[in-house]
Amino acid sequence: MILTVTLNTALDLTYSVPVLVPHGSHRVREVTERPGGKGVNVARVLAALGHDTVVTGFAGGRTGDVLRELLGALPHAPTDALVGVAGNTRRTVAVVDRSTGDTTQLNEPGPHIGSDEWAAFLGTFGKLLPEADAVALCGSLPPGIHVGAYAELIRLARSAGVPVLLDTAGEPLRRGIAARPDLIKPNADELAQLTGAREPLRATRDARRRGAHSVVASLGPEGLLAVTPDGIWRARPPRAVAGNPTGAGDSAVAGLLSALAEGLGWQDRLARAVALSTATVLAPAAGEFDRAAYEDLLGRVRTERQAPAA
């Protein structure tokens, strides 16, 4: 079983408009609702790939009820182990401009989590860990959760002997990386914020020195850069694609995590991550991937080892 943790789940709304004009009034041509939050998106992709997947984190209020209903109705539904809270689960709104393909994102902060709710989550997490082959800790922290929460969860996972992937940003990433996760997957901006370096290889190496066993940096259309004990790797999509990038990073995490659980090497892990990420950009709704595109891309991702392990 693969366990994904989303402390700040969301109901994702995607609006499609012909042209997005600031200060204007718009007729929305298409609206989609999806259960969201980074770890939920990861779990949906993992489940679609055939992995036994469990989702935990928090959900509350009327929005949380809708999220759980939509999660359970998915064709390949991960197991719902979300912890109920008094506050209302947040919403995120993605506005897609069809004329350019650009997406504007609006994210609510999330409900305040009390100390008793955090304790209830820790109990659930502890019960799920013994059955997990790998754990993904994903996304932002809702109000009320201490900034070292991910570091705490990483230490629990490591004590249980479960590989853990961390995908967050800012101070939670800085604290979490010091707890020595097996893998982190920042994007270029998150890496620069963490290390102060803009050059990708320098920043990725610096991030690994701070405690992560391996670092896979997402470089957008340029693919992935990985600094690992087995060497430095680059993986690139075979061609540039246009579409909605929402959820592409989460699909990359799912690719990395599924390949890790299957015992695949870095070349196959990165190829799967890039193929899934690119196929997500091509999908019409956030958090989904185009399966035909994924299968076509998987064998054509360019993956190379650039240097041996340091």
Identify the active-site residue in 12, 167, 182, 250: 250
Residue pair 135/117 in contact (Cβ under 8 Å)? The answer is no
Residue 250 annotated to the active site: yes
- Written in H, E and C, the secondary structure of the chain is CEEEEECCCEEEEEEEECCCCCCCCCCCCEEEEEEECHHHHHHHHHHHCCCCEEEEEEEEHHHHHHHHHHHHCCCCCCEECCEEECCCCEEEEEEEECCCCCEEEEECCCCCCCHHHHHHHHHHHHHHHHHCCEEEEECCCCCCCCCCHHHHHHHHHHHCCCCEEEECCHHHHHHHHCCCCCEECCEHHHHHHHHCCCCHHHHHHHHHHCCCCEEEEECHHHCEEEEECCEEEEEECCCCCCCCCCCHHHHHHHHHHHHHHCCCCHHHHHHHHHHHHHHHHCCCCCCCCCHHHHHHHHCCCEEEEEECCC
> Beta partners for 55?
4, 80
Contacts of residues 68-72 at CB distance under 8 Å and 24 or more positions apart, as own/partner, are 68/35, 70/11, 70/33, 70/34, 70/35, 71/35, 71/40
Residue 257 neighbours by CB distance under 10 Å? 33
Sole residue written with tokens 């860990």: 129
Catalytic residues: 250
